Structure 1
Amino acid sequence: MGLHLLGLSNIILTDIAPVMPALKRNLKRNKPVLGKTLKTSQLYWNNSNQIKTLNPPFDFVIAADVVYIEESVGSLVGAMEELVADDGVVLLGYQVRAKEAHEKFWELCEKVFLIEKVPHEDLHVEYAFEEADVYVMRKKMIK
């Protein structure tokens, strides 16, 4: 929601069906600050129709705390690849939740993205914590 305050447009907040009511409540609660309604959409990473409905590609895809089930990692990386523009950026807030998912996620990401870890000293001191990292990922250009 803070992205809207920075002037970015066409912001779509996504999550799985059980979380959508809470997401919509948070948007409604923050409407006085936001001024206009941001879009929300249900998104399961393995659902190509839902991905297409979002009308990608996007300049920025922002995700946080999304790597925890090994079986879903391939779909997540595939969705990020479809959603972000060739010259776009994936900004990822990351914390290791499950070793197998962690290993598979980075193995798949390295095939698709150039990955840069943001140094902890560059993160805001109030919001950063030692167990979590922030990554900037850009698509590799295939020649």
Structure 2
Amino acid sequence: MGLAGAAMALMGAHVTFTDLESVLPLLRQNVQNNLTPSALRLSGADAAAARVGTASVAPLDWADAAAYASLGPPFPFLLAADCIYAEGAVPHFLATLLALTVPSSRILVTNEFRSASVHAAFLAGCEGVFTLRRVPVSKLDPAYEHPAIHIYALSRARQAVRDQSGRSVLT
């Protein structure tokens, strides 16, 4: 859990790991075990400890718009790794991406293709709100590519927002 974010932190990024409240104890333990200076020293990675960015853990329920502000948006880069698995969550996920970014933000969404309807809802929800480009398999390390893994690079389409009913509105 949090492997992609941990890799980013180890490369010097300042990472905020988010999930539902019920998952945070495990996420905090993973950060403690892998990203603190003492954990890195124990692993023999002293040189890496000097380059590590910061890692914090925060609750985030996509359906709770009031929670977005506590994260300190906007973020210049968002990485969402294997987050979309239920069709009903897609509108909340996309609203969260909008709330946490600005037009200059870059978003990377990686997901395992589990359901045609969930995937279709994600693509349809992005339409008109985000520019979306699938990262070609040829850009991936052959050791990690798999036909079920989809990676998308997103950016906001102009000033996209969602109205109260969830429809995309460009301003």
Task: Judge same fold: TM > 0.5, yes or no.
Answer: yes
User: Which structure 2 residues correspond to residues 21-36 of structure 1 after superposition, within 5 A?
Assistant: 21-30=25-34, 31=36, 32-33=39-40
Which of 128, 131, 150 aligns to 1:111? It is 128
Q: TM-score, normalised by structure 1?
A: 0.90
For residue 102 of structure 2, give the secondary structure of its aligned residue in structure 1: strand
C-alpha root-mean-square deviation of aligned residues, in Å?
Answer: 1.7
Q: Deviations over 1:23-54 (max 9, x none)?
A: 11111111233567511001110111211100
Structure 2 CA distance for aligned equivalents of residues 102 and 76 of structure 1: 13
Structure 1 CA distance for aligned equivalents of residues 115 and 53 of structure 2: 38
Q: Which has the higher contact order (CA 8 A, sep 6+)?
A: 1
AA at the equivalent of 2:95: G
CA apart distance, 1:96: 2.0
Structure 2 CA distance for aligned equivalents of residues 127 and 101 of structure 1: 23
Quick check: 120-129 or 70-79, which moved more?
120-129
Structure 1 CA distance for aligned equivalents of residues 53 and 12 of structure 2: 12
Structure 2 CA distance for aligned equivalents of residues 122 and 85 of structure 1: 26
CA apart distance, 1:56: 0.6
Radius of gyration: which is bigger? 2
**Corresponding residue for residue 48 of structure 1:** 65
For residue 85 of structure 1, give the secondary structure of its aligned residue in structure 2: coil
Say whether residues 1:77 and 2:94 are aligned partners. Answer: yes
AA at the equivalent of 2:148: E
Say whether residues 1:5 and 2:27 are aligned partners. Answer: no
For residue 102 of structure 1, give the secondary structure of its aligned residue in structure 2: helix
How many residues matched?
A: 142
Determine if contact 2:16/2:55 at 8 Å carries over to the other structure: yes
Structure 1 CA distance for aligned equivalents of residues 113 and 10 of structure 2: 30
Say whether residues 1:122 and 2:139 are aligned partners. Answer: yes
Structure 2 CA distance for aligned equivalents of residues 124 and 133 of structure 1: 13
For residue 88 of structure 2, give the secondary structure of its aligned residue in structure 1: helix
Q: TM-score, normalised by structure 2?
A: 0.76
Same amino acid, percent of matched pairs: 26
> Unaligned stretches of 5+ in structure 1?
none
Determine if contact 1:118/1:136 at 8 Å carries over to the other structure: yes
> Unaligned stretches of 5+ in structure 2?
1-5, 41-48, 160-170
CA apart distance, 1:127: 2.3
